[in-house]
Amino acid sequence: MDAFLQEYGRELVVKTGEHITVSAIALFLGVVVAVPLGILLTRTPKISGIVIGIASLLQTIPSLALLALMVPFLGVGKVPAIVALFIYSLLPILRNTFIGMDGVNPDLKDAAKGMGMTNFQSIVQVEIPAALPTIMAGVKLSAVYVIAWATLASYIGGGGLGDLIFSGLNNYLPNLIIGGTIPVTILALLTDFIFTKLEDKLTPLVERSE
């Protein structure tokens, strides 16, 4: 272990930073797009099934194939990797946002209307807080997926810990494979832990409001 860190320690830190950066940007874009879209779909039920179906279809595309599809349009590097990971992040966030918002207690909505709230105020002050645990569960699922799939970004020059893993595979160096795999696993577990704690903090707030 000491010998590995001495030889690859600096590279490991750099690649971990790249991995986190690419994953975080893709997840952020997924949240920015999928949460408002999920909320909008609860107001337009006629097209909700179509939009969620399209998002589901996109997620069935094999990850390597999707990354390869990015190359003719965006070239190689971090940008196409982020776009591909962003597409993969959409479905869990979109679906959970829709389910969470659609499942808000109708009595809460009626109470908001009775207090004179506008539709926008009801969404922001009543419905989103009530749906937040479900939305966060979708974000958590997407975050773990994105961190795992980001290892494949190495194939199109996206960097990250996948560089170590695939370098190890190509050169028959088990230390590099293990050295890249363990940090990815730790990042995924840590992300799951953090978002689970956030869910635990948010759920009692909802229960008290009900």
pLDDT in tens, the chain (210 residues): 677 778 888 899 999 999 999 999 999 999 999 999 999 999 898 899 899 999 888 888 888 888 888 889 899 999 999 999 999 999 999 999 999 999 998 898 899 888 989 888 999 999 999 999 899 999 999 999 999 999 998 889 889 999 999 999 888 888 899 999 999 999 999 999 999 998 888 775 445 444
Burial of 73 (0-12, 13-18, 19+ CB in 10 A): exposed
Q: What CATH superfamily classification does 2-204 receive?
A: MetI-like (1.10.3720.10)
| Neighbouring C-alpha atoms within 13 Å toward the C-beta of 148 | 13
Question: pTM for this one?
Answer: 0.90
Query: Residue 140: enclosing H or E segment and its boundaries?
Result: helix 128-149
User: Side chain identity at 138, as an amino acid letter?
Assistant: G
Contact assessment for residue 133 and residue 100, using Cβ atoms and an 8 Å cutoff: yes
